[in-house]
Structure 1
Amino acid sequence: MSTEPEPGLVPEHMRTRYKDDQPPVMVTVDGQDFRIRERAEEPGTYDFDWLNGPHDYGFGISGGSAMSLPEMKEAIRTFLAMIDPATGYIED
């Protein structure tokens, strides 16, 4: 499983391809709110949408296996550690 967040927005064509029988996971980590959804056609691939970030931003993780809530929270912390507080984007 790849545990490194892949930054960027979820492509528009992927935004509606989520499992209908599973509601998104809503989680707050270090004061930041995220919606996590698993892609229907790619089991084990998750999109993390940063809901209260300064920009429409998020990341995806694919690994082929289900993620536990602690793994999801760790992925969010890894992502947030890469964010430049001045710009709200991943540091160069």
Structure 2
Amino acid sequence: MVLIVEGERFTVTRRPGSPGVYDFEWDSGPNEGYGFTTAVHGALSLDRAALEEAARGFLSQVDPATGWLAE
């Protein structure tokens, strides 16, 4: 699934064999192959709105100068 959040493009895949685990690849980000993983506990899946919120949370933590998570 492709998500566009705040103008940024993510490819989101469900991790095989791990219910409720999603891998996000930040396709439009400055660092090739960079992204994050999120998981839901107590449910088997997240809806699109929850996936978009996860991407927003990730973007809010990224240092705009480097494209990496801010420390």
* Normalised TM-score (structure 1): 0.71
Alignment match, 2:65: 86
CA drift at 1:43 = 1.1
Residue ranges of structure 1 left out of the alignment (5+ in a row): 1-24
Residues 2-41 of structure 1: matches in 2 within 5 Å? 25-41=1-17
Residues 46-61 of structure 1: matches in 2 within 5 Å? 46-56=22-32, 57-61=34-38
Which structure 1 residue ranges, 4+ long, deviate > 3 Å from structure 2?
none
SS class of match (2:53): helix
Structure 1 position 63 matched with structure 2 position 63 = no
Q: State the structure with bigger RCO (CA 8 A, min sep 6), 1 or 2.
A: 1
Residue ranges of structure 2 left out of the alignment (5+ in a row): none
The whole-number CA distance in structure 1 between the counterparts of 2:54 and 2:40 is 12
- Sequence identity, in percent? 37
SS class of match (1:73): helix
How many residue pairs get matched? 68
